[in-house]
Amino acid sequence: MTESSAPPSATNGSDGNDSAGPGPDRAGPATPPSGTAVPGQDPDPTGGVPVQSVGPAGTAGEHTDLRAVLEATRSEVEDADCPECGAGADQAVEGACGNCGARRPAVRDHVEFRLGPGAAVTDRGLRRRRNEDACALGRIATPAGEVLLGAVCDGVASARRGDEASLAAAEAAVAAVLTRIAAHGDGGAGLDTLAATAAGAAAEAAADLVRFGGDPSDPPATTYTGAVTRGGSAVVSWVGDSRVYWLAPDGTSQLLSTDDSWAEEIAAAGVMTREQAHADRRAHVLTRWLGHDSPEGPARARRFRPAGPGYLLLCSDGIWNHIPDPDRLAALLSGDDVLADARALVDAALAEGGHDNATVALLPLDPGDGGGEWGPRPDGSDDTGPILIPLDGDDHPDDAGGAGDDPTGGAGDPVDPTRPGHP
């Protein structure tokens, strides 16, 4: 759940209306339905069981399905006895145990996915009453190599139904790419086009929550991060303040995205230094988001091909607010098991206070897997820098030069230091 006002800190990690307090009220994670546990994997000590979709990554592809997991586990979780005192579910009162007052588990508190070489974990955190983050993974075989993709979305806290917006956007992004490749048969679409397909589908899904029966005066909203990879190359894209990192053991770990936030736009415009902007109470106010009332204009993106193997990390601000440094994030990865590494990242954020929902998706990327889809830059690097991708169905992204060329970050309007954030 992302904030749109004061940034989380050790003292104000969440607003008073959405804080359940740390410690004993934390509910155990939901148990996925039978048949979805990964063979040979032991359950997580906290109770979570990794899950995956069923079926080979063939020409039709496969993907995780958070919505299905939530529905399949709903009755089991809601009918369980109180984890603190053992009182039956019939004594529950508005999500709490009627006997001891402890918060009862919720279906979405903690879910884990493993899909091929990728993994994702989403967790409620220690302070939030519910988890409004969502994640999705997908993969599909093509003649040019397997396409592996992921999405992480964070529902905006100041808008109702942020949990619905994040879930709709994450799953639509992955489904749209798999559907496009399967429909064309040859998988010949470039990564730029696939990234635009994913981001456009996420934007449409979030907006549709109002188009088909929602309240336009209080529209759901979410951030978005996505990555589409093939043959050692990737295109990552984002809207809002969820982030994309490159994590590698060779010292090249770095932040690939730039937050669509008040602080970043003020700093880019030269109104304040970056340090001053991030210290301001308005620092985390969003300037871009997905939803019915989202600003017009494209999403920012980046083509990326690393020099050596590592992982793309997609994460909500419940991770990077606690651990923003790329090298520190990379140090948490063992490289032995991708799901264990995803858990380690979430666990580290919880150990630092867990003030917000915490979600990660980890996708391996190795330039040795293929020849790449674009040539190197004049300086010899394979990172082609920032681009813009449309959110309106246009399949042809435009190069947008360096990140500093447009102080609005592609938003299209001059930066106004007095402009309120969403909503």
Q: What is the DSSP string of 120-145?
A: EEEE--SSBSS--EEEEEEEE--TT-
Q: Is residue 422's pLDDT more than 80?
A: no
Through-space distance between the first and last CA atoms of the chain, rounded to whole angstroms: 14
Helix 162-184 vs helix 66-78: crossing angle, to nearest 10: 140
Q: Is residue 185's pLDDT more than 70?
A: no
pLDDT value of residue 401: 33
- By the 8 A CB rule, do 167 and 134 touch? yes
Single out the residue of 116, 131, 129, 128 nearest to residue 48, CA to CA.
131
Q: Is residue 3's pLDDT more than 80?
A: no
Mean pLDDT of 356-373: 91
CA 181/CA 171 separation, integer angstroms: 16
pLDDT tens sequence across 20-75 = 332 223 333 333 332 233 323 333 322 333 333 334 455 678 999 998 888 887 67
SS3 state at 222: strand
Mean pLDDT of the chain: 76
Secondary element (H or E) of residue 155: none
Single out the residue of 169, 168, 32, 54 nearest to residue 109, CA to CA.
32
Q: Is residue 198's pLDDT more than 90?
A: yes
- By the 8 A CB rule, do 142 and 185 touch? no
Confidence of residue 124 (pLDDT cuts 50, 70, 90): very high
Mean pLDDT of 251-279: 92
- By the 8 A CB rule, do 299 and 222 touch? no
Q: Is residue 288's pLDDT more than 60?
A: yes
Confidence of residue 106 (pLDDT cuts 50, 70, 90): confident
pLDDT value of residue 216: 79
- By the 8 A CB rule, do 289 and 223 touch? yes
pLDDT tens sequence across 205-235 = 999 998 777 677 779 999 999 999 999 999 9
pLDDT value of residue 165: 95
Listed in order, the ranges of the chain carrying CATH 3.60.40.10 are 30-64+108-405
Q: Is residue 326's pLDDT more than 90?
A: yes
Mean pLDDT of 135-157: 93
Note every long-range contact of 10-17, with CB atoms under 8 Å and residues 24 or more positions apart, other chains counting.
10/353, 10/355, 13/127, 13/353, 13/354, 13/355, 13/356, 14/127, 14/128, 14/157, 14/355, 14/356, 15/157
pLDDT value of residue 274: 87
pLDDT value of residue 240: 96
| Greatest C-alpha distance within the chain | 68
Secondary element (H or E) of residue 119: strand 118-123
Kindly give, in sequence order, each residue whose CB lies less than 8 Å from that of residue 90, ignoring residues fewer than 6 positions away.
Answer: none
Confidence of residue 421 (pLDDT cuts 50, 70, 90): very low
In this predicted model, which residue has the larger pLDDT, 116 or 408? 116
User: Which residue type occupies 180?
Assistant: R
Mean pLDDT of 357-367: 96
Using the Cα atoms of residue 173, residue 205, residue 6 and residue 419 in order, give the sign of their dihedral.
positive
Min mean pLDDT across 7-16, 53-62, 328-337 is at: 7-16
pLDDT value of residue 1: 54
- By the 8 A CB rule, do 286 and 4 touch? yes
Say if residue 423 is preceded by a cis peptide, omega within 30 of 0: yes
The β-bridge partners of 2 are 156
pLDDT value of residue 101: 62
Confidence of residue 349 (pLDDT cuts 50, 70, 90): very high
Single out the residue of 166, 177, 228, 234 nearest to residue 203, CA to CA.
166
pLDDT value of residue 57: 52
Helix 191-211 vs helix 162-184: crossing angle, to nearest 10: 140
Mean pLDDT of 256-281: 92
* Residue 302 Rama label (left phi>0; alpha psi -120 to 50; beta): beta
Taking domain 30-64+108-405, whether its CATH number is 3.60.40.10 is answered by: yes
In which residue are the tokens 């790449």 written? Answer: 372
In which residue are the tokens 């951030």 written? Answer: 223
